[in-house]
């Protein structure tokens, strides 16, 4: 009959009998495997999740953004670079919308089949341009729901680009482009609107966008690599460099295209308007000419009118003069008339004697004067004594002969000397003398002579005959003549007088005539003058009108001219500005991003990295503790099984057969625990960790990675640890001789201890204390193990806290001690320093630091290079102090200061020379003059001179600000209104985001602290249990001897307490050191954790350990109480 294997029976019975121990081994295994598998897989699952999330939703591998937009040609060119590429262009835009009286900035992106997709959480997709789907956080934070409408604030000039400004929310989505949970406050990237932060993202249909260029180009590279694996990163770099090769060409083309187009537009406009202007100009010119003509006319009119006026004035004057003259003449005439009349009166008076009057005298005169002398008479008159008497006679002859008697005949009237002279022929003898003689004739004497001749009585008859018979007073006159009562002289006088009167009278008559004529003329003149005056007046009036009209027209013309000029000027200015604007169109800059440039992604990877780092340490710790406890537990078990092993040996079982039971026992325990642990670790823990991160990240899916290897590794590790510990313990026992095993274990020998030799001290101890101390040295092995156990647990507990402490304060400390700014502002680097000064001129800005920041590479790590405009201002905002000596560091020319983490990772020391490369892969070498303490990020600092000596002209592109807290928000919005401010980021936002990342680490650490605590408890429990069971006899004996329970307790517990205190003190020291190491291991690349353990953490750890010890000791008390004296003493001997 086949025998059942009783070793197997034994093994199984052992489990049943000692289920608690079996369970504790299983639990150890469970814990170790759970932690190992769970944490290891957590990071892998999260990566796998991200990978799947990205792949399922077409997340871009590379994204290109251009400051000038991108075109279909760009898309095509990029497509042609590699046939693994899917390239498509997309549109997006930030808008301000009003929500609850606040401005919210919403990024709207385009939905297309090729684009990055998203997960629809609720509702449906938008069907037209008036519908939109938004992220969940937007609904929550703004109390909106599906069905509500939002209103976009579209900027002036952009109305054409967007087809709708009222959009109805039809659904709620989550997109892989934004991993960070929207319920936080970190925002969705930076924007040039509002306060610089995009608040929410959303999607709508392509129809919404009416822009002829793409705002971004997305590139998907066909591959099967895992996100962030080395193959993936290399592939992306490869594609990226291909794109970079054509970047310049594309930029140039696009730029030229745009410039050309813009110029064309301007040209067209210019032409259009120039025609108009030319026409207008022509019109104006003709108007001008007309005006000029008009002006000339007026001028002429005016001139002539002026002349006329002058004339009129002159005329007036003349008239006045004439009037005066005429008046004078009139009075003169009157005077003359009076004179004449008086003269006539005189004559009348004189003639009244003769009964004659003036009139008669006239007749007489006339008669006398009418007497025409004959030749002989004339000759008789000529004085005979002149020399030229003969000549003169000849002349007279001549004259009479030639019929010119008239000239000489009326000698009484005088002679016309000239006439006579003219009648004298020049050939006459003594012409000249005759002429002279004639000239010399005294007319009056001649007249007298003549009259005398006439009035001679011989000649009177002739005279009388001459009197007309019909005249009045004929008789009187004849009478007078007859009587010739007048003397010749008197007659002459009378005749002269009458002549004069007659002359005078004629003159008077003439004068009167003239006067009348003059008056008449004057009247005419006056009339004429009046006419002309009227004419002039009306002409003036017309002129005035004409002038007014002219003025009006002139004004109109001027206005038109002005308008024309203004418009032309404006137009020209506009053209000039437009052309300038074209010049100002910046040569485009391309930004080629891959996933690693997405800060959400990097945050995620950082979180994973920190988990990975944790996964290196804690499983090790747990397994270490598992080994430790297994050793303890199994040695206890071995102790209990001594005689059994001896018996089996005596029965002839070999070592393997004997070991079998223990191997089976531990293996079963381990496997049971491991299996459970693997399950929990595989399914539950990653999920829990992932969900913890769900506070930070919004990833709506979770994928279990298919990496079961970790599970197997975990199980195997667990087996190795626990079974290994078991076998190790058992082996030492099995190797012993059978007889030794069969005998009960000899109690450890008592020995004198070193302390005893110091008699002075030793004698002071009470007996029980002496025993206590002796026991401690007696049970060296157990005491050491207990201390080790306590040290381990304390250390692990403290380390957990150390991580938490280091991490928790990291961010705040960084911004309080190192980078002490409130906000950082990106500015356009093309503006001058003066313009930058103007931007930051507000008095609420307490400090400002101008820097030039760029990303550089060292080996394969990226870091930021910061050059300072004014290094003396540095210390106001950034603290650069040496990591170890804490003394302040100063920038030196052509040297750089690097930050501590960077130096540590790459093993860089002061005075080393390192080579960095910029974005164009140009290399630079610098000597490191100092290593500055820093907690977040990796930086290289240099002063301006260094920058300008090595790179290019310094241009500020980033300004760090310290702002008065109350004014901060106002200042930020003001800054963002400035077109030269490209973005603002505040440390409070960064703080929140980073604290989020670190906060989740905090949770994980807390979980670990709890586990550690549990472990600590189990260790202490087990150890004390062993302690007691090994000394059962001893304790029973004490009971027999009559010790009180309290005394028995104290017998054991005093040892325990001393050991615990020693263990805790050592544990604190080890924990501090170990914590430091763990912090370094768990540290992520971008941060240097502050290795600092707060006093609170120390106290907490000590308190926890004391708590555990107290709990265990309470249990000890109960166990001690249970020890049955009799049974204990009865056992094998």
Query: Which letter, b or e, does each residue of 230-267 get, where b requires 16 or more Cβ atoms within 10 Å of its Cβ?
Result: eebbebbeebbeebeeebeebbeebbeebeeeeeeebe
Tell me which residue of 359, 371, 365, 367 sits closest to 472, measured CA to CA.
Answer: 359
Contacts with other proteins, residue ranges (CB under 8 A): 1, 3-7, 9-10, 13-14, 17, 643-644, 646-654, 657, 737-739, 742, 1132
CA distance 786 to 773: 15
Contact criterion met (CB below 8 Å) for 913 and 945: no
Tell me the β-bridge partners of 451: none
Select 653 or 951, whichever has its Cβ closest to other proteins.
Answer: 653
CA distances for 866 relative to 215, 858, 870, 957, 959, angstroms: 30, 15, 12, 10, 11
Select 467 or 637, whichever has its Cβ closest to other proteins.
Answer: 637
Select 734 or 940, whichever has its Cβ closest to other proteins.
Answer: 734
Sign of CA dihedral 630, 636, 639, 645: negative
Runs of H (alpha helix) within 585-693: 599-640, 642-650, 655-679, 685-693
Closest distance of CB 647 from other proteins, Å:
4
Runs of H (alpha helix) within 937-1031: 944-950, 968-977, 987-1030
Structure tokens at 337: 């008339």
Closest distance of CB 1049 from other proteins, Å:
30
CA distance 610 to 707: 20
Count of Cβ atoms closer than 10 Å to residue 949 Cβ = 11
Closest distance of CB 725 from other proteins, Å:
23
Select 1041 or 1132, whichever has its Cβ closest to other proteins.
Answer: 1132
Sign of CA dihedral 971, 976, 982, 987: positive
Show Cβ contacts of residue 898 under 8 Å, excluding neighbours closer than 6 positions: 908, 914, 928, 930, 931, 932, 938, 939, 940, 941
Select 534 or 654, whichever has its Cβ closest to other proteins.
Answer: 654
Please tell me what DSSP assigns to residue 254: H
Closest distance of CB 1 from other proteins, Å:
8
CA 249 from centre of chain? 28
Select 751 or 764, whichever has its Cβ closest to other proteins.
Answer: 751
Closest distance of CB 13 from other proteins, Å:
4
Select 548 or 1130, whichever has its Cβ closest to other proteins.
Answer: 1130
Q: What number of H helices and E strands is found in the chain?
A: 36, 20
* 3-state SS class at 934: coil
Helix (H) or strand (E) holding 984: strand 981-986
Closest distance of CB 752 from other proteins, Å:
14
Contact criterion met (CB below 8 Å) for 614 and 49: no
CA distance 658 to 726: 13
CA distance 909 to 898: 10
Burial (CB count within 10 angstroms: exposed 0-12, middle 13-18, buried 19+), residue 892? middle
Select 384 or 735, whichever has its Cβ closest to other proteins.
Answer: 735
Select 383 or 652, whichever has its Cβ closest to other proteins.
Answer: 652
How do beta strands 131-135 and 166-174 pair? Answer: parallel
Select 1 or 841, whichever has its Cβ closest to other proteins.
Answer: 1
Closest distance of CB 737 from other proteins, Å:
6
Select 558 or 650, whichever has its Cβ closest to other proteins.
Answer: 650
CA atoms within 13 A on the CB side of 1106: 8
CA distance 408 to 398: 11
Sign of CA dihedral 735, 737, 742, 744: negative
Closest distance of CB 778 from other proteins, Å:
17
Select 514 or 736, whichever has its Cβ closest to other proteins.
Answer: 736
Closest distance of CB 1092 from other proteins, Å:
52
Closest distance of CB 781 from other proteins, Å:
19
Select 988 or 1124, whichever has its Cβ closest to other proteins.
Answer: 1124
Closest distance of CB 1037 from other proteins, Å:
21
Closest distance of CB 1041 from other proteins, Å:
26
Q: Please, which contacts does 911-919 make with residues 24 or more away whose CB atoms are closer than 8 Å?
A: 914/858, 915/858, 916/856, 916/857, 916/858, 916/865, 916/940, 917/856, 917/857, 917/858, 918/854, 918/856, 918/857, 918/951, 919/854, 919/855, 919/856
Select 665 or 690, whichever has its Cβ closest to other proteins.
Answer: 665
Runs of H (alpha helix) within 352-430: 358-370, 375-381, 389-401, 405-409, 417-423
Select 9 or 279, whichever has its Cβ closest to other proteins.
Answer: 9
Closest distance of CB 800 from other proteins, Å:
41
Closest distance of CB 758 from other proteins, Å:
24
Count of Cβ atoms closer than 10 Å to residue 698 Cβ = 21
Closest distance of CB 643 from other proteins, Å:
6
CA distances for 449 relative to 389, 462, 500, 586, angstroms: 17, 17, 19, 128
* 3-state SS class at 857: strand
Closest distance of CB 1014 from other proteins, Å:
31
Select 13 or 320, whichever has its Cβ closest to other proteins.
Answer: 13
Select 675 or 727, whichever has its Cβ closest to other proteins.
Answer: 727
Select 536 or 660, whichever has its Cβ closest to other proteins.
Answer: 660
Tell me which residue of 215, 182, 279 sits closest to 63, measured CA to CA.
Answer: 215
Closest distance of CB 1132 from other proteins, Å:
6
Closest distance of CB 674 from other proteins, Å:
25
């Amino acid at each position: 009959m086949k025998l059942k294997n009783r070793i197997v029976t034994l093994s199984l019975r052992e489990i049943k009998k000692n289920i608690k121990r079996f369970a504790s081994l299983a639990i150890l295994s469970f814990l170790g495997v759970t932690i190992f598998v769970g944490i290891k897989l957590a990071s892998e699952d999260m990566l796998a999740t991200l990978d799947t999330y990205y792949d399922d939703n077409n997340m871009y591998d590379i994204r290109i953004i251009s400051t000038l937009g991108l075109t279909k040609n760009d898309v095509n060119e990029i497509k042609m670079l590699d046939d693994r590429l899917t390239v498509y262009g997309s549109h997006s835009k930030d808008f301000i919308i009003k929500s609850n009286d606040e401005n919210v900035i919403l990024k709207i992106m385009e939905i297309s089949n090729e684009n990055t997709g998203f997960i629809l959480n609720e509702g449906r997709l938008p069907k037209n341009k008036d519908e939109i789907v938004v992220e969940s956080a937007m609904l929550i934070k703004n109390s909106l729901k599906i069905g509500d409408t939002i209103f976009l604030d579209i900027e002036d000039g952009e109305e054409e680009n967007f087809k709708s400004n009222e959009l109805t929310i039809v659904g709620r989505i989550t997109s892989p482009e934004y991993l960070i949970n929207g319920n936080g406050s970190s925002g969705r990237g930076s924007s040039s609107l509002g306060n610089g932060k995009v608040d929410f993202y959303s999607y709508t249909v392509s129809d919404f966008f009416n822009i002829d260029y793409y705002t971004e180009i997305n590139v998907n590279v066909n591959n099967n690599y895992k996100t962030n694996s080395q193959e993936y990163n290399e592939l992306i770099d490869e594609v990226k460099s291909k794109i970079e090769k054509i970047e310049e060409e594309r930029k140039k083309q696009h730029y030229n295209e745009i410039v050309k187009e813009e110029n064309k537009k301007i040209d067209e406009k210019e032409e259009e308007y120039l025609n108009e202007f030319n026409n207008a100009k022509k019109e104006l010119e003709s108007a001008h000419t007309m005006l000029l003509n008009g002006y000339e006319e007026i001028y002429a009119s005016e001139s002539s009118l002026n002349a006329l006026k002058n004339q009129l004035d002159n005329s007036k004057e003349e008239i006045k003069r004439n009037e005066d003259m005429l008046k004078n003449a009139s009075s003169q005439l009157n005077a003359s008339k009076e004179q004449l009349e008086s003269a006539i009166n005189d004559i009348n008076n004189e003639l009244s004697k003769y009964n004659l009057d003036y009139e008669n005298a006239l007749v007489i005169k006339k008669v006398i004067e009418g007497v025409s002398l004959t030749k002989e008479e004339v000759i008789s008159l000529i004085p005979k004594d002149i020399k030229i008497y003969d000549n003169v006679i000849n002349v007279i002859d001549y004259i009479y002969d030639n019929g010119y008697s008239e000239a000489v005949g009326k000698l009484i009237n005088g002679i016309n000397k000239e006439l006579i002279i003219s009648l004298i022929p020049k050939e006459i003898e003594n012409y000249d003398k005759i002429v002279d003689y004639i000239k010399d004739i005294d007319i009056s004497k001649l007249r007298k002579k003549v009259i005398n001749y006439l009035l001679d009585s011989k000649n009177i008859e002739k005279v009388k005959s001459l009197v007309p018979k019909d005249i009045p007073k004929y008789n009187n006159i004849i009478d007078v003549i007859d009587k010739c009562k007048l003397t010749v002289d008197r007659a002459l006088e009378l005749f002269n007088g009458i002549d004069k009167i007659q002359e005078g009278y004629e003159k008077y008559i003439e004068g009167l005539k003239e006067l009348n004529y003059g008056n008449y003329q004057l009247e005419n003149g006056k009339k004429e003058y009046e006419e002309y005056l009227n004419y002039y007046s009306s002409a003036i009036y017309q002129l005035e009108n004409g002038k007014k009209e002219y003025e009006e027209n002139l004004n109109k013309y001027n206005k038109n001219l002005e308008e024309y000029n203004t418009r032309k000027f404006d137009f020209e200015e506009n053209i000039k500005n437009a052309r300038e604007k074209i010049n100002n169109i910046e040569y485009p800059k391309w930004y080629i991003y891959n996933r690693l440039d997405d800060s959400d992604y990097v945050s995620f990877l950082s979180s994973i990295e920190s988990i990975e780092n944790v996964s290196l340490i804690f499983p090790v710790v747990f397994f270490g503790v598992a080994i430790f406890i297994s050793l303890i537990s199994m040695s206890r078990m071995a102790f209990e099984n001594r005689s059994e092993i001896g018996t089996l040996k005596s029965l002839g079982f070999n070592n393997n057969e004997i070991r079998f039971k223990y191997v089976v026992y531990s293996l079963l325990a381990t496997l049971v625990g491991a299996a459970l642990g693997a399950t929990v670790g595989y399914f539950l823990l990653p999920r829990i960790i992932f969900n913890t991160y769900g506070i930070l990240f919004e990833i709506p899916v979770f994928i279990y990675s298919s990496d079961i290897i970790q599970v197997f590794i975990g199980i195997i590790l667990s087996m190795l640890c626990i079974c290994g510990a078991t076998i190790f313990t058992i082996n030492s026992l099995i190797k012993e001789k059978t007889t030794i095993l069969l005998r009960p274990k000899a109690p450890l020998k008592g020995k004198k201890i070193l302390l005893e030799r110091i008699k002075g001290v030793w004698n002071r101890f009470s007996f029980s204390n002496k025993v206590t101390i002796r026991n401690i040295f007696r049970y060296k092995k157990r005491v050491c193990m207990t201390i080790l156990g306590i040290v381990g647990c304390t250390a692990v507990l403290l380390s957990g806290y150390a991580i938490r402490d280091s991490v928790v304060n990291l961010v705040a400390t960084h911004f309080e001690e190192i980078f002490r700014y409130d906000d950082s502002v990106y500015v356009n680097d093309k503006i001058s320093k003066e313009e930058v000064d103007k931007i930051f001129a507000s008095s609420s800005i307490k400090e400002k630091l101008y820097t030039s920041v760029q990303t550089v590479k060292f080996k394969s790590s990226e870091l930021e290079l910061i050059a300072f405009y004014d290094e003396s201002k540095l210390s106001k905002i950034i603290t650069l102090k040496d990591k170890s000596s804490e003394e302040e560091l100063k920038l030196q020319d052509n040297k750089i200061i690097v930050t501590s983490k960077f130096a540590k990772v790459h093993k860089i020391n002061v005075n080393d020379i390192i080579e960095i490369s910029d974005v164009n892969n140009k290399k630079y070498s610098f000597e490191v003059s100092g290593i500055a303490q820093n907690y977040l990020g990796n930086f290289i600092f240099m002063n301006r001179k260094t920058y300008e000596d090595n790179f290019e002209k310094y241009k500020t592109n980033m300004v760090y600000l310290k702002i008065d807290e109350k004014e901060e928000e106002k200042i930020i919005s003001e800054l963002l209104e400035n077109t030269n401010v490209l973005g603002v980021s505040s440390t409070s936002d960064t703080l929140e985001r980073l604290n989020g990342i670190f906060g989740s680490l905090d949770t994980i650490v807390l979980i670990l602290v709890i586990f550690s605590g549990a472990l600590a408890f189990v260790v202490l429990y087990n150890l004390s249990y062993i302690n007691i069971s090994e000394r059962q006899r001893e304790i029973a004996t004490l009971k027999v001897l009559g010790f009180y329970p309290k005394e028995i307790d104290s017998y054991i517990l005093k040892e325990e307490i001393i050991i615990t205190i020693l263990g805790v003190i050592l544990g604190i020291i080890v924990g501090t050191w170990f914590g430091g190491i763990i912090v370094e291991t768990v540290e992520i690349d971008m941060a240097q954790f502050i290795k600092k353990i707060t006093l609170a953490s120390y106290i907490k750890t000590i308190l926890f350990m004391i708590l555990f010890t107290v709990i265990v000791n309470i249990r000890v008390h109960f166990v001690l109480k249970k020890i049955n004296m009799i049974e204990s003493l009865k056992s094998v001997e």
